[in-house]
Each structure stands twice: as structure tokens, then as C-alpha cells.
């Protein structure tokens, strides 16, 4: 296929979706370049799953457009689907079929058959270390192997864009590491574009670029390092002494002493300064008795999220968007 070579792998413009009168997505603009490893980071309930389902062609957007290599997902889902490999959060394998039967069925769904299918299938079995399990029922495999089978399935028709929803859900640390090396390889070696949703900061850190989604809107987009660099070099987190004291008053005092903004988030006071470490002796001399602990750390995507939304990275179950969860079929 030669069409869409110069197009963005994924483009959304003003994408919006509502559940009833509740806005789940609003004005989402994204442009993912071919070959990118792209993360959509956000708290649970932020709209990630709704966005994922629209991109996977399972949900029609209410507003705006989404396209893959120039093919509109709503107007021409068949073309988008041919270019798209999808890995769901819930396992999409048939547990009663063997590993090989699962792949053969997947091949048939994508119009592959005969020698071409067998060659592609066997190469994937080898690549994902599944060849010894080819005739085992998928349901008897460990969680990590089942996930590998899912990835193999999603790659069988050589999609140009791989879309993953919370890919490391339910994986142990080793399986998680294997998954990420497979995804890195994929983006590097075959030029496949990889777009994944996650609520895990360390996963988003692995992406070339990350879009942060909160309450249905993109609040930040860029390279993880670039986003973090917008914050002061280091972040100082101060835990107030737990004895009853006015945390807000302590915050104001710290602000005065440090000469930069301090915020109170989830019981901690955070200061972003060019040289946060230098503040430690100063604050401890002035406020020693009222501070339980001080930590200096490099900014993370959490701090980026905090800076952009003014809130911590907690699922807001109570809000309209709290209903956007993986199990909402």
C-alpha cells in the first residue's frame, strides 16, 4: 500500500464524545508521526478508554474527526481497520483454542491464508518464544505468555499502527519488561507506529512523545523530557509534621522563605525551583520543628500533570468522567 505515506499515522481534530449529557472527550487534537512510540497518559476516568475505543473504530465520535494514514475511522472503518492492530485490555484470545489455532483464526479474519499465513504465523511464534506452546490451549498459558500471544495476534497482518489499551495490565514485572522490549523493537526495526494508553507514569516515560489527557482534554503534549524540563530542575516535596497544624499557613511561610510558588497537594507542599536542594538547609533552619521530611527529586510526569491541572494524579470517580473505565463495553 502506498497511500498515506506522508500522512500522519494518526490524526484527530476536535474529537469529542459524550455519555448522555456528560462530556467524556472534548476537543482532542493529536498528530502522531509514522514510526513514533506515542503514549496517552491520564488518570483513570480521564477519557483514555473512550479515546481508545474511537481510534479502534468501535465507537463513533460525536464531534470532530479521527483518521489513520488519511483514512477516516468513522467514514471508512474498513480501510482504517486494515492498517490497524489492536491490543485490548481484556484478553481477546480464545482460551479453548490452541496457540496456533488462535493465530490461524486471526489470519482468516484479515484475509490471510495458505503459505503466507503459515510463514507469518511461524515467524511470530518464534519471535515471541511461543513455538514450544504452539499446540497448547491458550487458556493453559501463563498470563505473560497469553499477553505475548495477543501481541503476536495483533501483529499477524503487519499493521502499520499498533494501538494498545493499558498494555501492561495484569503482567508481572518480567513479562512487563519483555513486552516493552518487544514494543521498542517494533517501533525501531519495522517502523510500526505504536500508540498506547496508560495511567502509569513510568510507562509513559518510555514513549517518544506523550499526550496527557485529563477530564477529556489534552492538557500537555510533547517529549517526556521536554515536558519535565518546563518545570524547575528539581522538585522539593515537604511533608508537614503530622501534629495538627495549619498546612496552608505553613505553605505560605515556605513560599515567603523560598521566594517561589509553593503548592499544597494531597497533604504535601511542593516547591519547584531552579535549585531546590539549596532550600533544604534554609527551610530546615527556619521551620525545622514543623516539617517531618523533605525530599528533592527530578520532576516526573506527575509534576507535569500537577502543574497543568492543579490536581494530583488520582482517579476522579466522583466526576462525570469517572465512568470512563475499561470495563464499560
User: Interface residues with other proteins (CB under 8 A)?
Assistant: 17, 19, 56-60, 62, 78-79, 81-82, 84, 86, 88-97, 101, 104-106, 108-111, 113, 137, 153, 328-329
Closer of 38 and 88 to other proteins (Cβ): 88
Sheet hosting strand 234-240, strand order edge to edge: 262-265, 268-273, 234-240, 291-297
Dihedral over alpha carbons 164, 169, 171, 172 (to 10 degrees): 130
CB 45 within 8 Å of CB 315? yes
Minimum CB–partner distance for residue 23 and other proteins (Å): 13
C-alpha cell at 130: 511461543
C-alpha cell at 127: 519471535
Closer of 151 and 269 to other proteins (Cβ): 151
C-alpha cell at 214: 485529563
Which residues make Cβ contacts (< 8 Å) with residue 186, sequence separation at least 6?
A: 155, 162, 192, 194
Minimum CB–partner distance for residue 80 and other proteins (Å): 8
What's CA 103's distance to the chain center, in Å?
26
Closer of 104 and 303 to other proteins (Cβ): 104
Closer of 54 and 273 to other proteins (Cβ): 54
Closer of 5 and 95 to other proteins (Cβ): 95
Closer of 99 and 294 to other proteins (Cβ): 99
Question: What is the number of other CB atoms lying within 10 angstroms of the CB of residue 178?
Answer: 19
Minimum CB–partner distance for residue 254 and other proteins (Å): 48
Minimal CA–CA distance to 270: which of 310, 243, 242? 310
Question: What is the number of other CB atoms lying within 10 angstroms of the CB of residue 126?
Answer: 11
Closer of 153 and 307 to other proteins (Cβ): 153
Minimum CB–partner distance for residue 121 and other proteins (Å): 13
Beta strands in 144-192 (DSSP E): 161-165
Minimum CB–partner distance for residue 111 and other proteins (Å): 3
CB 189 within 8 Å of CB 18? no
Amino acid at each position: 500500500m502506498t497511500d498515506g505515506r506522508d500522512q500522519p499515522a494518526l490524526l484527530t481534530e476536535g474529537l469529542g464524545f459524550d455519555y448522555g449529557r456528560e462530556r467524556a472527550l472534548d476537543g482532542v487534537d493529536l498528530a502522531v508521526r509514522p514510526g513514533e512510540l506515542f503514549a496517552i497518559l491520564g488518570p483513570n476516568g480521564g477519557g483514555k478508554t473512550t479515546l481508545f475505543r474511537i481510534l479502534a473504530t468501535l465507537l463513533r465520535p460525536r464531534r470532530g474527526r479521527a483518521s489513520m494514514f488519511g483514512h477516516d475511522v468513522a467514514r471508512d472503518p474498513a480501510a482504517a481497520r486494515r492498517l490497524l492492530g489492536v491490543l485490548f485490555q481484556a484478553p481477546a484470545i480464545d482460551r479453548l483454542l490452541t496457540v496456533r489455532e488462535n493465530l490461524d483464526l486471526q489470519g482468516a479474519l484479515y484475509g490471510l491464508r495458505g503459505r503466507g499465513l503459515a510463514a507469518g504465523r511461524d515467524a511470530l511464534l518464534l519471535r515471541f518464544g511461543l513455538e514450544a506452546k504452539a499446540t497448547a490451549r491458550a487458556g493453559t498459558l501463563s498470563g505473560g505468555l497469553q499477553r505475548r500471544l495477543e501481541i503476536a495476534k495483533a501483529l499477524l497482518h503487519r499493521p502499520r499502527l499498533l494501538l494498545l489499551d493499558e498494555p501492561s495490565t495484569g503482567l508481572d514485572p518480567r513479562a512487563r519488561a519483555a513486552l516493552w522490549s518487544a514494543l521498542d523493537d517494533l517501533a525501531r526495526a519495522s517502523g510500526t507506529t505504536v500508540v498506547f494508553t496508560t495511567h502509569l507514569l513510568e510507562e509513559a516515560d518510555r514513549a517518544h512523545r506523550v499526550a496527557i489527557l485529563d477530564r477529556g482534554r489534552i492538557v500537555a503534549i510533547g517529549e517526556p523530557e521536554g515536558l519535565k524540563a518546563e518545570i524547575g530542575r528539581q522538585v522539593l516535596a515537604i511533608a508537614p509534621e503530622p501534629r495538627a497544624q495549619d498546612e496552608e499557613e505553613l505553605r505560605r511561610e515556605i513560599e515567603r522563605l523560598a521566594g517561589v510558588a509553593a503548592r499544597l497537594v494531597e497533604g504535601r507542599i511542593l516547591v519547584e525551583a531552579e535549585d531546590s536542594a539549596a532550600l533544604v538547609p534554609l527551610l530546615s533552619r527556619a521551620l525545622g520543628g514543623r516539617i517531618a521530611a523533605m525530599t528533592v527529586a527530578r520532576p516526573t510526569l506527575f509534576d507535569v500533570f500537577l502543574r497543568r491541572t492543579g490536581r494530583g494524579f488520582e482517579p476522579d470517580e466522583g466526576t462525570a468522567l469517572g465512568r470512563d473505565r475499561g470495563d464499560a463495553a
